[in-house]
Amino acid sequence: MSNESPCLTCGACCAAFRVSFYWGECQSAGGTVPDELTLQVTLHHACMKGTEKNPVHCTALVGTPGERVSCNIYENRSSTCREFDIFNEDGSVNEACVRARAFYGLAPVSR
């Protein structure tokens, strides 16, 4: 059994949801997210380019969802990305993950 994260062959969340976050996470405001990969959504919020439209595909996502993926800015990703997980804090399955994976024909991840 592999200890590799199922996220490394998934990426569905990066190609299913808008990734919005507080503008202060952008590099120009002292944060870590590269400005050139973001768009202003509101006065106080930005989003990752590619997640503001359909079909959704974050500009930092490399690879093909459901096959093999990585994030070009993994160490500098937003809090939205850092906080998204396969499981909720209580150990239950994250239904948003299930929906994103289903969109790409992937089964839910189990423990």
Q: What is the pTM of this model?
A: 0.90
What confidence tier does 110 reach under pLDDT thresholds 50, 70, 90? confident
- CA-nearest of 110, 36, 45 to 80 is 45
Q: What digits encode the pLDDT tens for the residues 40-72?
A: 999 999 999 999 999 999 999 999 999 999 999
Residue 78 near residue 48, CB atoms below 8 Å: yes
What confidence tier does 1 reach under pLDDT thresholds 50, 70, 90? very low
Would you say residue 9 has pLDDT above 90? Answer: no
